[in-house]
Amino acid sequence: MESEVTQYLLFPHTVLRETDVRHLSILLPNLSVLQVLRPQILPEWLQGRFSTLPTITEHERIAEANLALRGYREFAEIHGENATLASMSYDQIAEDNRESRFFIQKELGEREAQAPEKRKDLLLESAVFMELARDLDEKGMELEVGYSKIGNLEAEFREILGITSEEEILEAEGTLSPPLAHESSHLYFMLNRRMSGWLRLLSAQPLTRTPVLVAIGPEVLSIALEAIKNDRERNGRPPEEIHFTLPSITSLKNLNGNSFLELTNKLSGTNTLNSYWQELDRFLSAPNDAQLRTKLEENVTGLAEAISSFRKQYSNEPSETAGLSITYLPGSSLNDVWRALDPIGFEALGGQGKQDGIAFFCLS
């Protein structure tokens, strides 16, 4: 990988939580998000840093996909809050049936005649599914914001009651009404199918830069690496993997908007952030180089110290952390990833060129 062409792609989601946006805007020099049917709305301060990567661009194909999507949404409106999950599952059943027929046609020697129609169907089905997944994620994020606001109100309530020490807080949590919590399980619903759909849609537009696949949870990485490992073993190729975790930074999720922008402005006014980004690109040009890895870790540590110093202006309390784990597969390419996770789509839609090595970043 050459540093000047490094591109970071969010995989396999198409929307981000506010907290993830904050952390990735610091930890990565850029990030691209797949645009399926609806345009992505990015904060103004991210312009030039985060971008969208269009997939289906033909007006006729977009119209067909929107028509199918409207049918699923109407179904969801009629059948209640879990209908989006049902719609996504129904779409999977329909996909499985079509793919089974495709294999039969292949055995009968009809693949050549069916291939163009199959390619169109796969892209349309993937577009509809990924938009349904986006609907699910956006609804889940709305709930998370609601729970966060309730959590802030609970903290203010404890302060009003004079509950300030850690021991008193723990005692109060046992006597006051149970705190509400919301896990981001929606992000991992039908994760395998999300990966397949994402990879198929990515193939609709040729890549001009080498991608680094960026995940927002370890579940994504676990599924992907297991599939790649199994595929390589089936083909008599021993799996190769370089894995390590960068030093963490203090979490930025509890900073108010103005304070966060103040932090980003301060970091941009120094060489701390740019030096880290440059070392990250240098590392990706030769991930096997131990000296580059050491230099990268030193720069992350410097960045973490600058963020920690800024946070202490507002609070000395212990805070959560955020960071990146890096997994580099020197003997694999994006084609290998696609074939391992989605053999049917790979065979029908073709590969994405050849790259020597592929990197996964995972936000933790």
Q: Nearest 5 degrees, angle CA 51-CA 52-CA 57?
A: 150
In-domain check, residue 62: yes
Question: How confident is the model at residue 116, as a pLDDT?
Answer: 63
**How many CB atoms are closer than 10 A to CB 335?**
16
Q: Comparing 223 with 180, which gets the higher pLDDT?
A: 223
Determine phi and psi for 294, rounding to 5 degrees: -60, -45
Average pLDDT along the chain = 80
Question: How confident is the model at residue 156, as a pLDDT?
Answer: 52
Residue percentage of the chain with pLDDT more than 70: 74
**Residue 86 pLDDT class (50, 70, 90 cuts):** low
Which residues face 325 on adjacent strands? 245, 362
CA distance between the termini of the chain: 24
In-domain check, residue 303: no
Among residues 30, 345, 19, 17, the alpha carbon closest in space to that of 192 is found at: 345
In-domain check, residue 209: yes
In-domain check, residue 124: yes
DSSP sequence for 128-180? HHHHHHHHHHHHHHHHHHHHHHHHHHHHHHHHHTT--SHHHHHHHHHHSSPPP
pLDDT, tens digit, 9 for 90 and up, residues 272-296: 999 999 999 999 989 989 999 999 9
Most confident stretch, 89-98, 147-156, 170-179, 308-317: 308-317
Which residues face 52 on adjacent strands? 33
Question: How many domains are contained in the chain?
Answer: 1
Question: How confident is the model at residue 183, as a pLDDT?
Answer: 54
In-domain check, residue 268: no
What is the residue range of 149's domain?
A: 3-246+323-363
Question: How confident is the model at residue 114, as a pLDDT?
Answer: 58
Helix (H, G, I), strand (E, B) or coil at 82: coil
Among residues 69, 23, 63, the alpha carbon closest in space to that of 46 is found at: 23
- Interatomic CA distance for residues 271 and 257, integer angstroms: 23
pLDDT, tens digit, 9 for 90 and up, residues 118-166: 788 889 989 999 998 998 898 888 887 655 554 555 555 455 444 544 4
Letter string b/e over residues 52-62, b meaning 16 or more CB atoms within 10 A of that residue's CB = ebebbeeeebb
Quickly count helices (H) and strands (E) in the chain.
Answer: 12, 9
pLDDT, tens digit, 9 for 90 and up, residues 303-347: 999 999 998 887 666 678 999 999 999 988 899 999 999 999 998
In-domain check, residue 221: yes
Torsion sign over Cα 194, 13, 183, 139: negative
Question: How confident is the model at residue 49, as a pLDDT?
Answer: 84
> How far lies 223's CA from each of 185, 191, 194, 219, 328, in Å?
15, 8, 12, 6, 15
Q: Comparing 93 with 284, which gets the higher pLDDT?
A: 284
- Interatomic CA distance for residues 307 and 15, integer angstroms: 26
Residue that is written with structure tokens 């994405």 in the block: 352
Residue that is written with structure tokens 């169907």 in the block: 121
The answer to whether 23 and 252 are in contact (CB under 8 A) is: yes
pLDDT, tens digit, 9 for 90 and up, residues 228-285: 999 989 988 888 899 999 999 999 988 888 899 999 999 987 899 999 999 999 999 8
Task: Please state the pTM of the whole predicted model.
Answer: 0.81
**Residue 87 pLDDT class (50, 70, 90 cuts):** low
Question: How confident is the model at residue 100, as a pLDDT?
Answer: 40
Among residues 208, 277, 215, 211, the alpha carbon closest in space to that of 8 is found at: 211
Report the pLDDT averaged over residues 95-116.
45
In-domain check, residue 87: yes
In-domain check, residue 137: yes
